[in-house]
Amino acid sequence: MALQLNVNPLPIETDDPVAVSNAAIDSGGLSESFNRIWQKASAITDDIAVVESFSHMIAFRTGEGLVCFDSSGTGTGGAVVEALRGWSTDPVHSLVFTHGHIDHVGGSGAVAADAADRGHAAPAVVAHEAVRARFERYQQTNGWNNHINARQFGGVSKKSNLGIGVGPDFLPADAMWPTVEYRTSHTVTAGDTAFELFHDRGETDDHTWAWIPEHKAICAGDFVTWVFPNCGNPQKVQRYPAEWAVALRKMDDLGAEWLFGAHGLPVQGAERVHLVLDSLASALESLVEQTLQMMNNGDSLDAIIHAVSLPHDAIKPWMLPVYDEPEFVVRNLWRLYGGWWDLDPSNLKPAPRSAVAHEVAALSGGVDALVDRALALAEDDIKVACHLIEFAVQAEPTSKSAHSARAEIYQIRRDGELSLMSKGIYASAANESKAVIDG
């Protein structure tokens, strides 16, 4: 599906996350400063601070210490704790994991170390019960997860210090494991402040979001991230678009004055909170409805991914497809409601790709002809060019000229994409071919 974006610059220059957020929502303008990984703490109210990072830490001051949501990632946790301590030196009463992704739990070892250094008791670590199973899965699939994150974030500058590939363990050995686990809902009380935790599936099967009535605030975890919902990720396990929308609708019913996502900017005021929650839910609901309608009609995956689309004005500044993208959500819906087979009978029990590639190369007049045609198409139909160049290298995996063309074609493809996930995968394909040429 093709996406077109209206890009207006944001009519404001400030570091204040709430001011940037208000300006973005009120003007519809865009800025590169929606997701800032700079480990800075901002006091939002007297009792609430946000440390913007690779997953933020949202901290609440209570009469019994701090209640913090998420610990940021493996490489950023230490700086996030340092920033938090610039705002408050109170003990951390509870650390809530909104879910078990590494960018949310990887910094928890730094939270534990800080408590020990200060002579505080270790905080309670509160999470949905499926976080434990996720941690166990990460240990079983450590190599796989290191590979996919290297690809997913392969185009990200090292300066951003995401902590990707910090050590051999995808889940760091010093990560804190949950000490308080719940299934559907749970209330954490600290001092006089109640934190009502709810479980819904969305990006993950282990998600927690919270309602804090005293502050009329929602901590949304990754249900709200200021990018298009990460609900299609091609290299990760199943995601849940319809349930994601249901959770957003539940949040929207609360009349919150503050909405804190685990990425992106705080949202201030009931009207803006409603606008953000409603638009995100509507986009997901539209993808679910269109996809299910076509599946119920008996259409193939190929037909569906090329037909389903969102109206241009459905994509708001706080949900640009610069990380994940709607087409991948459609694929996840197919996997969730259907299966892995795409309705193409030749794909049910396919021949080795190299066997098909040899036939295609022979029919084309040889690998060189395939390479020439792929290069000729690179400008006008990059998608078809990618298919042809794959046939070329599958037919002749050691051909330096085929790999040279492949590196060039995937670099062009990468440069034309918006989403980090597409950019990462195409860049890694280009790099594979460069390695063959250099080798």
Pairing outcome for strands 124-128 and 180-182: parallel
Residues 20, 12 contacting (CB under 8 angstroms)? yes
Alpha carbons 429 and 416: distance in angstroms, whole number: 15
151: how many CB neighbours lie within 10 A of its CB?
A: 18
Closer CB to Zn ion, 225 or 291, in the complex: 225
**Six token digits for residue 139:** 């240990």
Shortest spacing between CB 261 and Zn ion, in angstroms: 9
Closer CB to Zn ion, 203 or 408, in the complex: 203
Closer CB to Zn ion, 74 or 193, in the complex: 74
Shortest spacing between CB 239 and Zn ion, in angstroms: 12
Contact range with Zn ion by CB under 5 A, out of 14-22, 221-229, 252-260, 431-439: 221-229
- Give the residues across from 198 on adjacent strands: 185, 209
Shortest spacing between CB 263 and Zn ion, in angstroms: 6
- C-alpha torsion sign, points 425, 429, 434, 439: positive
Shortest spacing between CB 318 and Zn ion, in angstroms: 15
Shortest spacing between CB 84 and Zn ion, in angstroms: 18
Does 206 bind Zn ion (CB under 5 A)? Our answer is no
Q: Which residue is nearest to Zn ion (CB)?
A: 222
Closer CB to Zn ion, 56 or 186, in the complex: 56
Residues 227, 264 contacting (CB under 8 angstroms)? yes
Closer CB to Zn ion, 211 or 223, in the complex: 223
Shortest spacing between CB 103 and Zn ion, in angstroms: 5
Give the DSSP letter string of 218-237.
EEEETT--SSS-S---TTSS
Closer CB to Zn ion, 55 or 108, in the complex: 55
Shortest spacing between CB 207 and Zn ion, in angstroms: 10
- Per-residue burial over 254-274, b if 16 or more Cβ lie within 10 Å, else e, is bebbbbbbbbbbbbbbeebbb
Q: How many residues line the site for Zn ion (CB under 5 A)?
A: 2
Contact range with Zn ion by CB under 5 A, out of 153-161, 214-222, 405-413, 418-426: 214-222
- Per-residue burial over 210-221, b if 16 or more Cβ lie within 10 Å, else e, is bbbeebebbbbb
Residues 118, 391 contacting (CB under 8 angstroms)? no
**Six token digits for residue 369:** 């002809």
Shortest spacing between CB 203 and Zn ion, in angstroms: 7
Cα–Cα nearest to 280, from 249, 236, 250, 253: 249
Which one among 70, 206, 222, 243 touches Zn ion, defined by CB under 5 A?
A: 222
Closer CB to Zn ion, 134 or 406, in the complex: 134
E strand or H helix at 126: strand 124-128
Closer CB to Zn ion, 55 or 364, in the complex: 55
Segment 52 to 91, residues that bind Zn ion, using CB under 5 A: 55
Contact range with Zn ion by CB under 5 A, out of 26-34, 136-144, 216-224, 356-364: 216-224
Q: Is 207 helix (H, G, I), strand (E, B) or coil?
A: coil
Alpha carbons 66 and 69: distance in angstroms, whole number: 10
The 27-56 contact track toward Zn ion, x by CB under 5 A, reads ----------------------------x-
Closer CB to Zn ion, 10 or 265, in the complex: 265
Question: What does residue 98 show for φ and ψ, rounded to 5 degrees?
Answer: -65, -25
Shortest spacing between CB 385 and Zn ion, in angstroms: 34
Q: Which positions lie near Zn ion, rule CB under 5 A?
A: 55, 222
